[in-house]
Amino acid sequence: MRTRALALRIIRQFLRDKRTLALIFLAPLLILTLLNFIFNGQPITPNIGTVQLPAPIIERLNGTDANVTTYTNQEEAKQALEAGDLDAILSLADGKPDLILEGSDPSMNQAILLRLQKVMQASTPTIQPNITYLHGKEGMSSFDYFGPVLIGFFSFFFVFMIAGVSFLRERTTGTLERLLATPIRRSEVVGGYLLGFGIFTLLQATLITWFAIEVLGMYMVGNFGLVLLINLLLTLTALTLGTLLSSFASSEFQIIQFIPLVIVPQVFFSGLFNLDAMAPWLQKLSYIMPLYYGADAMRGIMIRGESIGDIQLDIYILLGFSIVFALLNIAALKKQRAI
Amino acid sequence: MSNILEIRDISRSFHGRAVLQSIHLQVERGELFGLLGPSGSGKTTLIKLMTGMDRSDSGEIHILGEKVPKLSLLKRIGYMAQSDALYNELTARQNLQFFASLYGLSGARRNERIDAVLRVVDLLDHKDKTVAAYSGGMKRRLSLAISLLHEPELLILDEPTVGIDPVLRQSIWQELLALRDQGTTIILTTHVMDEADKCDRIGLIRDGHLTAVDSPAALKERSGTTTLEDAFIVLGGGVLA
């Protein structure tokens, strides 16, 4: 009953705080939409200059989605390259193709090399392999691959911040002390926070997931309910971690200081970036990052259509994180009241 | 004669600095007891030890026959902190509803008590305003109302009238005296001398020592002074100018 009263109070406070509501519900949608535009936008069209190339090659190059400009001599083309009008110059030197890349943008370099390859291949007929996909589909964008991780990340990040600040404010305004002068148990305080915030995080998780899949058209072959479950578990971890860490902060500013320490490393280890290139012992750091498990499960469900059995380890670990953080939080409240 | 509060040899220090040293005190049922002392003298620390928010280094506190800290004891104590611990986003009634639920009040009984305490502090007409729109004095009264919700046997008030205008202070004191006459024991802290004069007994606290405990009249007599202010200085070991 005290837990419920505390949860009800948190909900009432939330409903009066329109800005925080907007931050929880609208900010993740805005950022996801922007990311969608970035990763799902138009394919790159390189500007390639050619110098005295045979007409058939130019024609083939034109067919590979590139802006081709012909120059009469190398000098002119080089000037254009330096001026930034061109991304590459293709010419023939001693009968062999000669390519000069502008070179500062790796993804542009890749795109140009890919086109060049196509042009070369076309001159010698090859056997086309038959391609099938076990998971995913042809033309799947990077947004579809990052998406599941991003959904989990935003749920985690915003809940961490808001829960941390709310609990901190309860302490700095003296209401926590007042609260603890009532016969409420420390576990009921933590439980009330979990319940009150839990309801909002469930709504948030539902909205973000629905928006990403239905409105942004993120690739999704799995069970919607499972995505929600993982998202909820992830936000519970964020909630318990946020409130726990707020015990070690004395101002809102100090909560912000936790971002580079707690949030940013998790992003690196969450699977947004491929960790295979990292030293193996460093890779193991990901095992202590809640976001790693959440991201793994989200990707499994959304891209590979995994069932609850496939992701049960992730579920147990996320639950374990939440329970440990909540227990530590109950213990940390001893600082405020001896019993 | 029954002691509602019994403090035995309490000491407390923070970071090696002694804040309270060897405090002994008894407060009887039905008394209005005042702790008088300048800021930093250890009043709030003593209050926090009584409510169980803090643990003493040595000594024992018994309230209503139970050893502090004890969770069930908090149900029988009303507490008002020095700062107004209110939820500014919520209305006065929502604040009261929240605390009433924490004290286990529900349904019709809860609404009845909420109206009763709002009437006591004269905020009935403002109950649906958000606390953010309240003046300092109104917040103080609402804090007092919250401490009265569950009809506690013992009321512990930390500087209840600080920052309140004289008219309002008068009305709060009338209310406190009425509560005492109904049998509620009240322990409060103050650094205002004329408020201390209204208490049945006062304890003078200075630099962590309880220098004297008696009725205001007896303290003046004992020190051979005519005002409590002078008595405070003399009994604290000082010399009158």
The pLDDT value recorded for residue B63 is: 93
In which order are the strands placed within the sheet that holds A96-101? Answer: A67-71, A47-51, A88-93, A96-101
Compare all CA atoms of chain B with the CA of A173 and give the residue at the minimum distance: B85
Which of A272, A237, A246 has its CA nearest to residue A335? A246
The pLDDT value recorded for residue B238 is: 73
Which of A289, A311, A309 has its CA nearest to residue A299? A311
Assembly ipTM = 0.86
Q: How far is B30 from chain A (nearest CA, A)?
A: 22
Q: Can you tell me the distance from the alpha carbon of A220 to that of A144, in angstroms, rounded to the nearest whole number?
A: 8
Which residues of B lie inside 8 Å of A (Cβ-Cβ)? 51-55, 69-72, 74-75, 77, 79, 81, 83-87, 89-90, 94, 97-99, 101-104, 106, 130, 146
Q: A173: which chain B residues are within 8 Å (Cβ-Cβ)?
A: 83, 85
- Mutation site, B66, B68, B75, B87, interface A, largest A CB count within 10 A: B87
The pLDDT value recorded for residue A123 is: 62
Q: Does A177 touch chain B (CB under 8 A)?
A: yes
Q: What is the mean pLDDT of residues A280-291?
A: 87
Q: How far is B209 from chain A (nearest CA, A)?
A: 24
Mean pLDDT of chain B: 89
Number of residues assigned to chain A: 339
Q: What is the percent of chain A with per-residue pLDDT over 70, rounded to a whole number?
A: 98
The pLDDT tens digits of the residues spanning A49-70 come to 888 888 888 888 887 788 888 8
By DSSP bridging, strand B201-206 and strand B32-36 are parallel
Q: Can you tell me the distance from the alpha carbon of B206 to that of B42, in angstroms, rounded to the nearest whole number?
A: 8
CB contact under 8 A, B53 and A184: no
CB contact under 8 A, A178 and B79: yes
CB contact under 8 A, B53 and A17: no
Q: How far is B207 from chain A (nearest CA, A)?
A: 24
Q: What is the mean pLDDT of residues A220-245?
A: 92
CB contact under 8 A, A338 and B52: yes
The pLDDT tens digits of the residues spanning A119-164 come to 877 666 667 788 888 888 877 787 888 888 988 998 899 889 989 9
Q: How far is A186 from chain B (nearest CA, A)?
A: 10
Task: Tell whether the model's pLDDT for residue A218 goes beyond 60.
Answer: yes
The pLDDT value recorded for residue B146 is: 95
The pLDDT tens digits of the residues spanning A80-91 come to 888 888 899 988
Which range (A4-8, A197-201, B144-148) has the least confidence?
A197-201
CB contact under 8 A, A337 and B69: yes
Q: Can you tell me the distance from the alpha carbon of B21 to that of B5, in angstroms, rounded to the nearest whole number?
A: 18
The pLDDT value recorded for residue A133 is: 87
Kindly report the pTM of this predicted structure: 0.84
- Mutation site, B61, B102, B148, interface A, largest A CB count within 10 A: B102
Task: Tell whether the model's pLDDT for residue B226 goes beyond 80.
Answer: yes
CB contact under 8 A, B53 and A16: no
Q: Does A338 touch chain B (CB under 8 A)?
A: yes
By DSSP bridging, strand A67-71 and strand A47-51 are parallel
The pLDDT value recorded for residue B164 is: 77
The pLDDT tens digits of the residues spanning B192-214 come to 888 888 999 999 998 888 988 99
Task: Tell whether the model's pLDDT for residue B239 goes beyond 80.
Answer: no
The pLDDT tens digits of the residues spanning A253-268 come to 999 999 999 999 888 8
Q: Does A179 touch chain B (CB under 8 A)?
A: yes
Interface of A with B in 184-223 (CB under 8 A): 184-185
Binning pLDDT at 50, 70 and 90, where does residue A188 land? very high
B131: CB partners within 8 A, 6+ apart = B86, B87, B88, B89, B90, B91, B92, B95, B139, B142
Task: Tell whether the model's pLDDT for residue A330 goes beyond 60.
Answer: yes
> Is the distance from CB of B148 to CB of B117 less than 8 angstroms?
yes
The pLDDT value recorded for residue B241 is: 67
Q: Does A181 touch chain B (CB under 8 A)?
A: yes
CA A270 to chain centre: 8
Q: What is the mean pLDDT of residues A14-28?
A: 89
Tokens for A237, please give them. 């971890």
Q: What is the percent of chain A with per-residue pLDDT over 90, rounded to a whole number?
A: 37
Q: What is the mean pLDDT of residues A313-322?
A: 96
Q: B53: which chain A residues are within 8 Å (Cβ-Cβ)?
A: 177, 180-181, 336-338
> Is the distance from CB of A181 to CB of A319 less than 8 angstroms?
no
The pLDDT value recorded for residue B169 is: 85
The pLDDT tens digits of the residues spanning B9-29 come to 999 998 888 899 999 999 999
